[in-house]
Amino acid sequence: MFLNAGNLAGRAVPRAFAKTLAFPAIRTLATVSPINPGSRGHKVVVIGGGSAGLAISHQLLHSGKFSQDDIAVVDPAEWHHYQPGWTLVAGGLKTKEELRRRLETLVDPKLKLYNVGVNAFAPEENSVSLSNGDKISYEQLVVAPGVSVDFGSVKGLPEALEDASSLVSSVYGFNYCDKVFRNVDQLKKGTAIFTQPAGVIKCAGAPQKVMWLALDHWKQAGLYKPQNVSESPIKITFATGLGGMFAVPKYSSVLEGFRKERGIEGLFQHDLVAVDGNTATFARPDGQEQVTRKFDLLHVVPKMGPHAFVKNSALANEAGYVDVDDGTTQHKKYPNVWSAGDASSLPTSKTAAAVTAEAPVLVRNLLLARDGKQPDAVYDGYTSCPLLTEYGKVLLAEFKYGGVPKETFGDLLGVDQAEPRRAFYHLKKSFFPWVYFNSMVKGTWGGPKGWIN
């Protein structure tokens, strides 16, 4: 989701970018369409009003090929959240309230918003059953509802999160992301454990971002001494169900270096399965005995996966994700079905940045298919993770399929993005949230390609 400086030539940067982000001026609100038993069909139905759903539906609208209500968006949510910003909340840099908008204010009035959930898909008859029992039909279907965060995947976690007095938190929920910084600020001594599960999660760098910011906070408070951990009031452990720090070798080696330099204990292939009081229990691979650890602060990343209405449908692959071609985003069995974002089977990291590259490919190919032509746009797996490594610095990881780096500024300016930089920090903290609400969800931001349409 990155800025190509070449796209700024001759373009004035809006004054809002330089200000502390707050709620932007709200335009005329979209009318939330009621669900009526006789609802007509639509040329395109987009399931999901998140990053992917809104970007795709608005890019389709901007093509000029659709009239009022030709495109429908289906999502039961009242609020749309800029979830990449929750790590900023965890670091005390933002409030969670400034990173959300009412969904209906982000949907163009020319789109029809069904503010309800999905019950089931019927791809053989080109229809979708809604949670209130109604059906809508489509010519083309885009499935982009994101994934579900399963707090119940860790025994005892829901209760610990709800307990305001517990030092257990998670950045992966609106109700809990602000608890992270409160807990970090409250801890004065003891053992802090930061976890990451095995399996697919949204923004795989977030578990580390929270840890690096916490470490820097304690360092500045004199509670953590990276060069003399034995004398530090606070000790830090990173427990991950994975075998390394990051999936991309280039960035993983740098992050592993930081872990060692900063005195963080690494527990690899340790998958958190239970929380009981101040005890964390980890599963080990291949039937090895479980490991228990005492903690004074615990940051938990629960397991995630596809929503049941996707997983249990004819559209899903064996893992439960919408089964689409890695390049074209077109469904492998149903040619009028498409998917992007976290719900798709695209084998790349699940980030908002990935959506900026996926959406234009999906939109072009869907429009070609409507005209009876073969899809010709190809998604190369581009995704990104702006890794906060301390206050004021970000390691800007950008890569494509196969874990191959694809760095915007490396190609443009010859800089090594594996080196944390202050300029990247300002992108993460200020520019990305601004461009997200003012451009990306409106279908006019193309990530490394800059503004589109």
C-alpha pair distances (Å), 235 with each of 5, 83, 194: 41, 28, 11
C-alpha pair distances (Å), 247 with each of 170, 220, 250, 284, 418: 22, 30, 9, 19, 14
Q: Nearest to residue 99, comparing CAs of 442, 438, 433, 360?
A: 433
Pairwise CA distance, residues 368 & 189, whole Å: 60
Find out whether 196 and 240 touch, Cβ atoms under 8 Å: yes
Sign of CA dihedral 409, 412, 415, 418: positive
Return the CATH number of the domain spanning residue range 39-146+307-381.
3.50.50.60
Q: What is the pTM of this model?
A: 0.90
Q: Is position 385 annotated as part of the catalytic site?
A: yes
Tell me the residue ranges of DSSP E strands in 115-164: 118-122, 127-130, 135-143, 147-150
Find out whether 337 and 138 touch, Cβ atoms under 8 Å: no
Q: Residues with Cβ < 8 Å from 334, sequence gap 6 or more?
A: 123, 141, 315
Pairwise CA distance, residues 220 & 301, whole Å: 25
N- to C-terminal Cα distance for the chain?
Answer: 16
Domains 39-146+307-381 and 157-301 are alike in CATH topology: yes
Catalytic residue (one of 310, 367, 385, 397):
385
Q: Which residues pair with 400 in a beta bridge?
A: 404
C-alpha pair distances (Å), 415 with each of 60, 219, 351: 35, 28, 23
Token pair, residue 79, equals: 């609020």
Q: Is position 177 annotated as part of the catalytic site?
A: no
Domain 157-301 in CATH: superfamily? FAD/NAD(P)-binding domain (3.50.50.60)
Pairwise CA distance, residues 344 & 349, whole Å: 11
Token pair, residue 115, equals: 């503010």
Catalytic residue (one of 203, 316, 395, 440):
203
Pairwise CA distance, residues 306 & 319, whole Å: 8
3-class secondary-structure state, position 411: helix
Residue ranges per structural domain of the chain: 39-146+307-381, 157-301
Q: Give me the tens of pLDDT residue by residue for the chain, a chain 453 residues long.
A: 333 323 222 223 332 323 322 323 333 344 344 434 445 799 999 999 999 999 999 999 999 999 999 999 999 999 999 999 999 999 999 999 999 999 999 999 999 999 999 999 999 999 999 999 999 999 999 999 999 999 999 999 999 999 999 999 999 999 999 999 999 999 999 999 999 999 999 999 999 999 999 999 999 999 999 989 999 999 999 999 999 999 999 999 999 999 999 999 999 999 999 999 999 999 999 889 999 999 999 999 999 999 999 999 999 999 999 999 999 999 999 999 999 999 999 999 999 999 999 999 999 999 999 999 999 999 999 999 999 999 999 999 999 999 999 999 987 788 999 999 999 999 999 999 999 999 999 999 999 999 997
- Residue 343 gets which letter from DSSP? G
Q: Residues with Cβ < 8 Å from 221, sequence gap 6 or more?
A: none
